[in-house]
Structure formats: structure tokens, C-alpha cells
Amino acid sequence: MSILRFFTPQDINEARLTGGPLARRQKSALDMTIPATMAKTIETGRLDAFRLDWKPGQPKMPHVYWDSDTAKVLEGMAAALSLRPDPALEAEYDRWVDLIVSAQQSDGYLNTHFTAVEPEKRFTNLFRDHELYCCGHLIEAAVAGYTLLGKRKLLECLCRYADYLCGYFGPGRHRGWPGHEEIELALMKLYRVTEKKEYLELAQYFVNDRGTEPHFFIEVEKTQGDGGGQRTSNQTHAPVRAQTTAEGHAVRAMYLFAGAADVAEATEDVELLRACEAVFENVRNRRMYITGGIGSSFAGERFTTDYDLANGSLMYAESCAAIALVYFCQRMLNLTGEEKYADVLERALFNGVLAGIGLSGDKFFYTNYLEVDDSLYCYNFGSPVRREWFDCSCCPTNFARFLPQMQQYLFSVSDQELWLHLPVDAEIRHRFANGSVARLVVTGGYPYNGNLAIEVQEDGDYTLAVRLPGWCNRAEVKLNGEVVYDGAGGKYLPLARQWRTGDRVALALAMPVEFVRCNPKVTANAGRVAVMRGPVVYCVESRDLPGEVRNFRVDTSHAPEVTAMPPDLPPDARAVKLFGVLEESPSDEPLYFTGEELPCVPCEALAIPYALWNNRGPTNMAVWLRTAKAVSRTEQ
């Protein structure tokens, strides 16, 4: 097996979102998400923790993960400035950087909790205490500031910290694994911008030593009484390259394998790549929600067993986990060029990720349920609605950095090839090594519309490879009006030519509404169907029914109808009218009864994209719907 590499643009501004859900969410991130998370980072004391002036007995004690929240918001600020220069925001960015750098110790170490609160416990409990995780996010913020803004101060600071880690961990030095993985992929980012091989070697060490014997966390348990007994939950049940299933904390697992994919690419490690592929297949085929959400249990925020995919109450599907899956898929797509990774990437992006943040840009879900009912207790910190902040606020701060950088998922390049993954409305400009320039304008309204156009804006000699999604049963591609492909999706179609200004590629991706059924091993979905159109998953809210969604039963023999969105939701999206019946709501008693089924009346329901639910106020909701016997249209 050979390892391919389709390098994604280093400058995320080679693509600019111009319309549709990604552009809308990105604008709300610049207008609301970043200012809101900045304000909360300051209000809660996370930023001021870098002053290192906390004293016992005072409020706002720096938590072990606070540094990561500040770093993610700072990364989002850098991305926002690269998209929309703002002198006031840049001055605040520089102030944050100055404060963070001032907290660095003389040996290079940088962590607010273990400098101000427990300096004697530095690196004594890696399983629990997030030191390396916080360092990873600070590194990512530093790399973003350098690559997007050309600012070196934080980069040089984090290089000193990384140098300290390289001298502390590794063969012949201290042994250790991060309890919460993330530093692996961060070190690989730092390696790419500095070309310092020690950073690659440390990332290799953290990946390759993890899960080997003697078990490091078992040794921690002997001295600390914490950490050793949870091998599966922290991805140490086996060496990473021997793992074949997604285990434990879902966010940590995906960060680990994203970093492992980076290491595999840099070192041409085929065995490690195969482990990444095996874990991906396990996620895709047995442990992923239809929305691209991952993690079946809120207890431990973790994967559990194959086909354990409950829809509400105890489920997890954290917003950060969907984001982490996007990171992993992007790396695997760029490593192999296989279209299946783009399918999962867009499923997670358009559904599992975007559902986690409201259209206003300043309210967030931690857990993303597929069913919300007032008879179910929601473990989303006690709330079935989005909130402005959480004590553990990894999700809001992750959105602050993710949304301003979504354009990096649109395409990848390799030599004289441009691979278009997501044909959303955008302007793309990339200069190849031979001087040719790909300058393209993509329009059409994807993912809500399948009729798309790619207009060439500048002459150039290169190959444009357009993705024909795996969900698409029939795709037609025309080049300057001539059909060049008519067939099934699930592949990339390469179009090599000397492109001329005015050339036009037209995509017609068949996008019917489909009822999706689930493997019967998922008992929660027995007798139920979900609704999809293209890559978009739909749900039904009770507000769009004359009753409760739990009483609605969809008739799959009646073809659904694509229709306009209800008021107060984006009009460029598409709603789906469903036909079925509504059960009569019984009285509270008796709890159980015999005899006939509950009486039903014909009913229509409006399904909306799952990513847009809970934007019109509190409501019950379901993705997986019970089915009904056929109901004639005349009865409707």
C-alpha cells in the first residue's frame, strides 16, 4: 500500500465562502461567536489566569483545562482577523498573546494551573490533568497566528515549550502519555511550520508508546490511585497501531487518530495508516449516528459497543466529538484520496457540527440528541436547549476556532490537481508550482440544491477533480454543455485540460428525499425511519405538528414533498412535508392497556434540517420516526 497525499491549502483564505449554511454560520461566528466567547473567557477568569496571581481562598481558581479554552478562542480570533481585518480585535489579540507569553516559566513550561495552583504536581498525573492537552491547543493557536497573520511572538513562545517537552519526554527520558489526546496533532502542525524534526519525533513517541507495556497509567495508579484501571476509556487497551475499534472518550479518540494519521503521512507508516483506516471503518459502519455524531454514552462521554446508538436521554454525541471526526476525516481524505472520507466529513459537518450551535452564534449544545421529549431527562447539563456557556466550555470555544476556518474543507491540491470536496458557494484561488492558477466560482446552493455550477475565472493548465458524493445514485456532469459523465456517485471525476476563462462545469446531483432505515441491531431505531435529502438529515419538531412528535407516525408509502422553510429559519434551506397519522394522546392512566391501538387521525408534518432545530424556541424533536400503515391521500 502506498500513501498518497493531497495537501490542503496552508492559507485557508484560498477559498472564500460566499453563500449557503457555511457562509451564514461563518458570518455569525465573526459577528457573535468570537465576541461572545471572548467575553466569557474574560468574565470567567480564564484569561486573567495567565497573570499567575491567584492565591488560595480566592475565587476563579485556574482549572486544569482553562488554558485550552483561552487558546481555542485566540485561534478563532486569528482566523477572524485573516477573514476580516479589525484593528480593535487585533489589538485585543496582541494583548492576549502578551499576557499568555508573560506566564511562561524560565524553563519554557507554560500552564496556569500548575504554575499558580499546584506547582509541585507538574506532570504527576497526565491521565487526569490535561497539561499536554492544554499545550496542544496553545500550539495550535500559535501556529494559526503565524500562518494566518504572520505573527511570531506566540509561536516562538510555544516552540520554547515544545523544546522543553522534547527534552522531558521520550526514550531515555521521562515516560508519559496524555490522558486527553490532542498534543499529537498539534506537534505535527508545529513540525510542518518549523521543520524541526524533534517535534515530529515527540508526536511519534506519544502515538507509538501509547498502550504498550509496562502500562504507564497502571504505574500512575500505583502511586496516585488514579487512572490505571480505564484502559479502554483512554485508548490504551492496546498499542495504537494495533487498535481496530473506536474506544473510550469520543473526542480524545478522534484527536488521537487525527494525530496518528498525521504521523503516518509524515513517516510513510503504512501499519499506522491501516490502524487509522480500521478505526474509521468501525466508526462509520457501527458506532456513528446518522448525523455524524459520535459517542454513545454521556457517562464517560464515550464510545460503548457496536450498534449502541440510543437517540436521547443517556446518549452523548458531543459537539466537540463531531468536530474531531471532521478533523480525522480530513486527514484520511488527504492521505488516501478516497471519497468515503469526504462522505463522512460532510455528514458530520452539515449535521452533527452545525446542530451544536444556534443560528444566533452565541448559544450552544454540548450533547446533540436525536430525540428530545419532555418525558425524557436530558443530561445536556440539565438543559434540552442551547446555552451560552458551560463550566466545561470546550464546545463553545471549539466553535470559535472551527467556524472561521471551515473553508479549509472545500478542496485539496496535489501537484497540478485541485480536488473539490464540498461544492458549496465559494470563490477559490490556488496557484500551482508551475505558475498556473485555478480561479473558480462555485454556485448553486449546496447542500440544499444538487444543481451546481463551477465557473473558471482564469486560464490555467491543471486537473479539476470534482467529487460525486457516495449518497448520490445518479450524477450528471457537463463541461461547457457537453455531458462528460452520467452515472453513480462515490468517486472523484478528474477533468484535465487547459482551462480557459469562461469554461463551465455543471453538476446535477440527484437529490430525492429518502427514507433511511437502520441496521436492526440498533434496537432504538426498530420500526423507525429517518429522512434525508442529499447529505442533509431532517428532523420533526412538535411545533410543526398539531400534536407531539412522539405521537406522529410517518407513512412511507406517500412520497414526501420538498417545500419552503417555515418563517424565522433560513429560506435557502429546504423543508420536507411528510404524510402520516397522529395518535390520540391517552390520559395519564392507565399506564398499560390491552386491546386496540390508539385511535389515529391523518396528519401532515414538516421536517426541517436537523442542524436548524431548536432555533424557534424550546420544542420536542425526533430524527427517527415511527412508521404507520398506508393512509390514502384522499383521507388527508
So which residues are the catalytic ones? 301, 394
DSSP for residue 364: B
Neighbours of 250 (CB within 10 A): 29
CA–CA dist 521, 518 (Å, integer):
8
Residue type, 180: H
Contacts (Cβ under 8 Å, ≥6 apart) of 36:
361, 362, 388, 396
Of the candidates 495, 463, 490, 457, the one whose C-alpha atom is nearest the C-alpha of residue 479 is 495
Of the candidates 583, 561, 565, the one whose C-alpha atom is nearest the C-alpha of residue 575 is 565
Helix 197-209 × helix 153-168 angle, to 10°: 50
C-alpha torsion 328→333→339→341, nearest 10:
0
**609 three-state secondary structure:** strand
* Cα dist from 593 to 129, 526, 541, whole Å: 52, 22, 28
CA–CA dist 558, 608 (Å, integer):
18
C-alpha torsion 218→219→220→226, nearest 10:
30
CA–CA dist 307, 289 (Å, integer):
9
Strands 552-554 and 575-583: antiparallel
Contact by Cβ (8 Å): 524, 310:
yes
Contact by Cβ (8 Å): 562, 586:
no
Please list the residues that pair with 552 across neighbouring strands.
582
Helix 183-194 × helix 197-209 angle, to 10°: 160
Please list the residues that pair with 414 across neighbouring strands.
417
- Could you tell me where the DSSP H helices lie in 103-180? 113-116, 131-149, 153-168
CA–CA dist 204, 171 (Å, integer):
11
**495 three-state secondary structure:** strand
Helix 197-209 × helix 250-267 angle, to 10°: 130
CA–CA dist 363, 387 (Å, integer):
5
Please list the residues that pair with 174 across neighbouring strands.
169
Contact by Cβ (8 Å): 598, 586:
yes
CA–CA dist 10, 254 (Å, integer):
22
CA–CA dist 333, 331 (Å, integer):
5
